[in-house]
Amino acid sequence: MSIIAQKLVKTFGEPPTTALHGVDVNLQDGEFVAITGRSGSGKSTLLYLLSTLDVPTSGELEISGQNISDMTSEEVHRFRNLMMGFVFQFHYLLPELTALENTLMPALKTGRREERRPFAVSLLERFGLGDKTHRRPGQLSGGEQQRVSIARALVMEPRYLFADEPTGNLDTASGDIVMRILGGINREKKTTVVIVTHDPDYAAFAQRQIHLVDGTIASQ
Amino acid sequence: MLFLALRYLLSRRRQTFLTMLGILLGTAGYVVISGIMLGFRLFIIDQLINNDAHIRISSREEPITEHSLDQDFFGDARHVFWISPPSGRRDNPQIEYAQGWFDRLDGDPRVLAYSPQFNVQALFRRAKISQTARLIGCDPAKQERITDIQRYMLNGKFSDIGQSGNRIVVGDGLLQNLGARVSENVLISVGKGNVVPFKIVGVFHIGMKTIDETTAFGSLNDVQKANLTPSQISDIAVRLADVGEALPLAQSWASTSRDKVQSWDQANSGMLSVFKTQDIVRNSMTLTILVVAGFGIYNILNMMVNQKKREIAILRSIGYEARDIILLFLVQGLILGATGGLTGMALGFAICKYLGTITVDPGRLIGGGGSMMISYLPSIYANGFLLAFGSAVLASLFPARSAAKLLPIEIIRSEGT
């Protein structure tokens, strides 16, 4: 099981500007990979292509043996719901819901909210939020909100976790906690973790770094 | 998505409440206005149906046109040109073969009762006051079977008219205009007849000025005699078992008779066309209110879609599909529409109940007991709810669709990550 991308090209706008020039990536199951590069190097674009949130202009993407371009929209959504977790720089929690309810949002989609509730609580406890499960995002610090969003990404026990600058908005202490959590998940659950970061210290957490320069892979 | 939609609505209580209030007032307004208008209409129709005949058969009136007399003067001549064309009206003061009608009506199971009448315009005089009014000669027992006149008697009984003896029952407006009292005599002159004294034995109040001020009932014999035309019948008033059959029956009788046959709705077509205008006014007013409320929903949901772009992005990225997002916003509109519609119906019902208790006049002005007659037809409530619900669905559909069209990746990208 792995993610195999071949000759991924992504162009934007009119006239087209190319963000990625035929990138080949091979992610093995259980890997912890950091995509690094300067701002505008195409690292976020690569992450969104690998995570099926965006579609490549050309090139092939195969996840767990399935070619994404052969799947229907419904299958892709289901696949994302069950197999993938996302963590964004802006945590995007729903302000109307409590930390626990936010964590359970992916389970709500498949009608497994009650089934996943004990696991969601255990995740929040593990992330040091055991006493704050019923607080709303507005009552949590930035670091705590980001931990809730990681719990949300993990509640369905996905095989892949994609994180786009998960520490970008956090202070060093909170950033360290987030990175330790991601590392722990990767070790214990063998979840494939792909993060985008421009912080070399956090990139060093990863087993492998894919360094992008102007839309091509400079080193991996 | 109901869970999330409810949370969204509850987190914006003020906005939600104000939008719902708009729908609520729109629905309540519709229910109240319709209740009053239809109530009044039912009252008027009830008056028209129950105080006059369902079908009135009357003597023929024939206007004379340019070629009406061609046949009489020139036989089969094809082209007749008049220097001064004939004009005028050929009236028949009586129904020519009344007995034929009686036999026909007696044998028709759809006819509940009928009352032969002799109607004339008469001059009523008391001391120096004179007043014209319609004097209806009838058999009181038969007349009571075709109308509810006894119900509207303020003084005396309708049957006091009797079969003869020059006794009349008058409308209270006419009584007042003459300055007369019950048991007094008034002098009545009809057409070529002599001046005849009649005794007022009763007073009625139907609630329609046009009737109360200009109508008096006497016995058929007395009126025929006063007009010097014994045994003439000018009208036959018919009551049917089913008033809904009035129009087709009148049309079918009219086609086989030379007399004039009119159903109550034909006779009052002017009044009924006013109701149509009322309907247009009522519906357009309500539509305006609901369009405003609908725009409220549209604006709020549209704003919400813009504010919630990030959340829509995250929902889409964790596996929620476009149709889930449509549902999320549509359900909010449906909840607003349904609660606003239901509470609006309840408020409208309560206001109608209250209005029903207001006494308009100590007499019997509008409806029974002097209070306003309000209609509680289920169709008013169903329409009100459907209008509210429909406008809410329509108003939320557009923001919902625009929310579903948002691509998560574009939102995330535009947020600057």
| Of residues A1 and A197, more confidently modeled | A197
Q: Looking at the predicted structure, is the pLDDT value of residue B290 above 80? A: no
Contacts of B3 in chain A (CB under 8 A): 108
- Check residue B412 and give its pLDDT: 77
Q: Which of A94, A102, A104, A195 to mutate to test the interface with B (most CBs of B within 10 A)?
A: A94
- Check residue B415 and give its pLDDT: 64
Query: How do residues B102-160 score in pLDDT, each as one tens digit?
Result: 999 999 999 999 999 999 999 999 988 999 999 999 999 999 988 888 888 988 899 99
Residue B178 in contact with partner chain A when CB distance is under 8 A: no
Contacts of A87 in chain B (CB under 8 A): none
Contacts of A152 in chain B (CB under 8 A): 318
- Check residue B301 and give its pLDDT: 80
Is beta strand A84-87 parallel, antiparallel or unpaired with respect to A160-164?
parallel
ipTM score of complex? 0.80
Residue A39 in contact with partner chain B when CB distance is under 8 A: no
Query: How do residues A200-218 score in pLDDT, each as one tens digit?
Result: 888 888 888 999 898 888 8
Torsion angles phi and psi, residue B41, rounded to 5? -65, -45
Query: How do residues B380-393 score in pLDDT, each as one tens digit?
Result: 899 888 888 888 88
- Check residue B365 and give its pLDDT: 46
- Check residue B362 and give its pLDDT: 46
Q: Do B313 and A106 touch (CB under 8 A)?
A: no
Q: What is the reported pTM? A: 0.67
Give me the helix-helix angle, B309-317 and B322-357, nearest 10°. 130
Q: Do B324 and A164 touch (CB under 8 A)?
A: no
Could you say which of B310, B315, B409 has the minimum Cβ distance to residue A54? Answer: B409
- Arithmetic mean of pLDDT, B65-70: 81
On average, the pLDDT of chain B sits at 85
Q: Which of B314, B326, B411 to mutate to test the interface with A (most CBs of A within 10 A)?
A: B314
Is beta strand B185-190 parallel, antiparallel or unpaired with respect to B167-171?
unpaired
Q: Looking at the predicted structure, is the pLDDT value of residue B367 above 70? A: no
Closest residue, chain A, to B5 (C-alpha): A96
- Arithmetic mean of pLDDT, A1-15: 84
Residue B315 in contact with partner chain A when CB distance is under 8 A: yes
In three-state secondary structure terms, A104 is: coil
Task: Calculate how close chain B gets to A91, using CA atoms only, in Å.
Answer: 9
Task: Calculate how close chain A gets to B338, using CA atoms only, in Å.
Answer: 22
At B363, the pLDDT band (50, 70, 90 cuts) reads very low
B115: nearest Cα among B47, B207, B51: B51
B120: nearest Cα among B56, B26, B190: B190
Q: Looking at the predicted structure, is the pLDDT value of residue B244 above 50? A: yes
Task: Please report which residue ranges of A10-112 form alpha helices under DSSP H.
Answer: 43-50, 73-83, 99-103, 105-109
Task: Please report which residue ranges of B260-362 form alpha helices under DSSP H.
Answer: 264-267, 269-307, 309-317, 322-357
Q: Do B417 and A44 touch (CB under 8 A)?
A: yes
Determine the residue type at B149.
Answer: I
